[in-house]
Amino acid sequence: MKNRIGQTAIALIFLGMTFGCTSEQTPSNNAITSQASSDPITATASASTARPVQKTANLSIEGETEEITLTLYNEPTAPFTTYFPSESFVTESGCSGEGCGYRFLAKTETGEANDAAYLHFFFPSNSQTAEEMEQSYVEDVLSSNNWERIPIQESDSFYPWAKRVIHFSSADAQSLGQIIIGEVQGKGFGVIEFMEVEYAEGFTPRFAAIYENLEFNED
């Protein structure tokens, strides 16, 4: 009964998560090998020089509208640029034989990375479609982290690149998230959105800001 109540609460939280908005454990194939950095990675590539280094946005955080400064993220190896609240996140990136990973982790008051809430992008080294990515990636991530699928009807308000969303929670219902299978120019990639339950209200709109500002580089 306790677990069922916990999953019901998580389902209600999911109704307000990123893909319904308009405005740790680490997966085995996260490909993060480089050091973390609390300093924002700013534009260096020609594809992103037209984007300003900073801009502001109004986010609804814990019931209050706040004006937040967003900083341009442009890791040289990343196939995308975006904006993120640099006051709230530490970034990590790295590549291995399996692919490249890029993470935005919650920042502690002392500026250190806190994996109680994070957004993780993974781009495999071998070219895969979204369908192939789903078959090879999702079960590996779920099983390696002991996460359980949560059967929630998907919303229609996905971003164009998002092809499939799988909701999950931890076995003790103390953390939740979603695995997003995306595809751009025929190439699949994975996104993990993870947070402990108490972080959901504050970090869901922050994650949404990252999604909404994504621009993928052209080949």
Element (H, E) at 53: none
Q: What's the pLDDT at 6?
A: 46
Start-end of H helices in 72-163: 130-133, 139-145
Reported as a pLDDT band with limits 50, 70 and 90, residue 157 is low
Q: What's the pLDDT at 96?
A: 94
**pLDDT one-digit tens code per residue, 6-62:** 443 444 344 445 444 433 344 444 454 433 444 444 444 344 558 999 999 998 887
Q: What's the pLDDT at 158?
A: 72
Residue where the block lists tokens 């949560």? 150
pTM listed for this prediction? 0.80
Q: Number of folded domains in the chain?
A: 1
- Which tokens in the block code for residue 28? 């085995």
Q: What's the pLDDT at 38?
A: 43
The full length of the chain comes to 219
Supply the DSSP symbol for 78: -
Number of other residues whose CB lies within 10 A of the CB of residue 126: 9
User: 122 is in which domain, residue-wise?
Assistant: 2-216
**pLDDT one-digit tens code per residue, 100-135:** 999 999 999 999 999 999 999 999 999 899 999 988
Reported as a pLDDT band with limits 50, 70 and 90, residue 153 is low
Q: What's the pLDDT at 64?
A: 80
- On the question of pLDDT at 91 being above 60, the answer is yes
Q: What's the pLDDT at 32?
A: 46
- On the question of pLDDT at 2 being above 80, the answer is no
**pLDDT one-digit tens code per residue, 170-212:** 999 999 999 999 999 999 999 999 999 999 999 999 999 999 9
Amino acid at 111: G
Which of 96, 94, 73, 117 lies closest to 216, judged by CA? Answer: 73
- Which tokens in the block code for residue 43? 């534009």
From residue 6, alpha-carbon distances to 1, 126, 172 in Å are 9, 38, 8
